[in-house]
Amino acid sequence: MKTTASRNRSRQGILLIECLVYLGALFAVLGVAYSVCFGFWDNAIALRRNADDIAAALRTGERWRDDVRAASAPLRIEDSPYGTLLHIPQKTREVVYLFHDGSILRLSDGTPWVSLLTNVKSSDMREDKRRQVAAWRWEIELKARRKSVRLHPLFTFEAVPNPVIKP
């Protein structure tokens, strides 16, 4: 017959095994929660970066549209060793846009080149002739920050010089 002391020892052994099982289960749950939390964290950071890129592209496009609307003479495209230049003559100055090395740069009289937008995959500025006016179209594609993307960041901006400059 077992004594009280031997029963307590067997219960202590069982309690120790239970604690190890619970501890293992706790680490498994914490490991899964940790990986899920950091997956969400990475997605939130990527979403914020994408939103920042989209906002910067929209600001740059609106600035380009303002410059085109303020044109006082026909716009001119020029090929250079650095990339394609778009010259926008205005009343008191000339504004130049350049796509070079993944960046959109802007030059205005008396100021150095200013980087308006980075992380650009492609940029295409061209005249879009229509019946009555010579509109201008600018298509921008941003580089994807991830390898697998569902939606490519493409933007198209259109502007008409004001007053309307006939071709």
Output 140 or 148, whichever has higher pLDDT.
Answer: 140
What predicted TM-score, i.e. pTM, was given to this entire model? 0.75
Nearest to 143 by CA among 96, 104, 98, 86: 104
Tokens coding 76: 């001119």
Give the strand pairing for 154-159 and 134-142.
Answer: antiparallel
Q: Say if residue 61 is exposed, middle or buried (CB neighbours under 10 Å; 0-12, 13-18, 19+).
A: buried
| Token digits of residue 20 | 């190890």
SS3 assignment, position 27: helix
* pLDDT tens track for 36-93: 999 999 989 988 988 899 999 999 999 999 999 999 888 899 988 888 899 999 888 8
What percentage of the chain exceeds 70 in pLDDT? 89
How many angstroms separate the CA atoms of 113 and 133, rounded?
A: 30
